[in-house]
Amino acid sequence: MYHTTVLLHDGVNALVTNPGGVYVDVTLGAGGHSREILNRLDSEGLLLGFDQDADAVKNVPEDKRFKFCFGNFRFLKQFLLSHGVSQVDGIIADFGVSGHQFDEGSRGFSFRFDSELDMRMNRSQGRSAKEVLNESEPGDLVRILKAYGESAFARPIVKKIVLKRSEKQLETTGDLVQIVESVVPEHKRKSELAKVFQAIRIEVNDEIKVIEEFLQQSVDVIKPGGRLVLISYHSLEDRPVKRFLRSGNFDDKMNKDVFGNVLRPFNPIGKVVVPTPEEIEQNPRARSAKMRIAERVNG
C-alpha cells in the first residue's frame, strides 16, 4: 500500500461542484483524491495533478482527462499556464508526508529506520537533512527545532549535534536518533524524536513557505464560486491555512469595508472536518487531519 488517502470522499464531495469543470490536485501522492475526482467528472472535465516526488509518478491515472505536473505546487500558476489553463473550478491540497515516504526507509523521513539523512520530497533538488544538520549555524538549528518542532530540548540537542559533527559528519538517521536519545529522558524520547524529525523535514522542504505561496496563488486561479479544500496534519500547517481563509493574509489582520464585512478572497464553508472514528481505526495516520473548505468570492 503506497498510501491510504485521508478524508477521500469528504474532500472530493466538497471540491467538485461542476462535473465539466477544471480541477487541480496539488498533492497527487497515491492518487486517491485524483481518481475519485475523475469519477465525478464527465467527458468535458479536466484534472491537473501535481507531485514533486518521483516515486509518485507510478500513481498517475491513465485518463485522457488528466494532466500531470511533475513539480512543487509552489509553482502552481506557472504549471497551469504551461498547460493552457488560467482559471480552475477548484483545488484540493493534502499537506504533509505520504505513508509511502514515511515507510520507505531509504528516504530518511522516519526515525524507525537507519538510513541516509535525506528527507527531501524531491531528491534531485535542495539541501538534504544531512547538509542542514552538518552545515547550519548552531543558532539556526535551535530556531529550526523550536519553530518547526516546538522542541523543549532544542538547545541541548543542538549542542550535542555541534559536538558530534566536529568529530565526524552526521550521515544517517541513526546518528541523529543517538544524539536525541543521549539528551532526552527515556519517557519523552519517542515524542521528541517525532518533533526533531518533523522540524528538520519542514526546513529541508521549506514546507510552510510553500503552503503560503500556494495559497496566495490560489486567489488568482480559482474562479468565483470555485472551491479550495485544504487538509493539514499539525498546527504549523493549519495555522497559515486558517488565517488565510479567515482574513486573506497570514498576519490574520482583518480588513473590512464600510459595512463591516471582512474583505477576503475566500469565504470559509462550514466547520472544520475531521476523520470519523471508523476512518481513524482503519487508518491511524488520519487521526490528526483537519480539513478546511472555502469558496472563492467575486472580485
Q: Do 51 and 61 fall into the same domain? A: yes
Does residue 91 form part of some domain? yes
**pLDDT score recorded for residue 52:** 93
Residue the block writes with cell 474562479: 223
**pLDDT score recorded for residue 165:** 97
Q: Do 89 and 217 fall into the same domain? A: yes
Q: Do 19 and 161 fall into the same domain? A: no
According to the 3-state scheme, what is the secondary structure of the chain? CCCCCCCHHHHHHHHCCCCCCEEEECCCCCCHHHHHHHHHCCCCCEEEEEECCHHHHHHCCCCCCEEEEECCHHHHHHHHHHCCCCCEEEEEEECCCCHHHHHCHHHCCCCCCCCECCCCCCCCCCCCHHHHHHHCCHHHHHHHHHHHHCCCCHHHHHHHHHHHHHHCCCCEHHHHHHHHHHHCCHHHHHHHHHHHHHHHHHHHHCHHHHHHHHHHHHHHHEEEEEEEEEEECCHHHHHHHHHHHHHCCCCCCCCECCCCCECCCEEEEEEEECCCHHHHHHCHHHCCCEEEEEEECCC
Q: Do 20 and 83 fall into the same domain? A: yes
Q: Do 226 and 266 fall into the same domain? A: yes
Does residue 260 form part of some domain? yes
Answer yes or no: are the C-beta atoms of 236 and 148 closer than 8 Å: yes
Q: Do 212 and 280 fall into the same domain? A: yes
Reading the chain (299 residues) residue by residue, the pLDDT tens digits are 556 899 999 999 999 999 999 999 999 998 999 999 999 999 999 999 999 988 889 999 999 999 999 999 999 999 999 999 999 999 999 997 777 676 677 788 899 899 999 999 888 889 999 999 999 999 999 999 999 999 999 999 999 999 999 999 999 999 999 999 999 999 999 999 999 999 999 999 999 999 999 999 999 999 999 999 999 999 999 999 999 999 999 999 999 999 999 999 999 999 999 999 999 999 998 999 999 999 999 86
Does residue 192 form part of some domain? yes
Q: Do 149 and 290 fall into the same domain? A: no
Residue the block writes with cell 492518487: 31
Domain stops at, among 162, 186, 205: 205
Does residue 106 form part of some domain? no
The range of the structural domain enclosing residue 135 comes to 123-205
Name which of 104, 114, 127 is nearest 173 in CA terms: 114
**pLDDT score recorded for residue 1:** 52
Q: Read off the CATH number of the domain in which 27 is found.
A: 3.40.50.150
Q: Do 218 and 243 fall into the same domain? A: yes
Q: Do 185 and 143 fall into the same domain? A: yes
Domain stops at, among 185, 205, 225: 205
Q: How many CB atoms lie within 10 A of CB 105?
A: 14
Count of domains forming the chain:
2
**pLDDT score recorded for residue 193:** 97
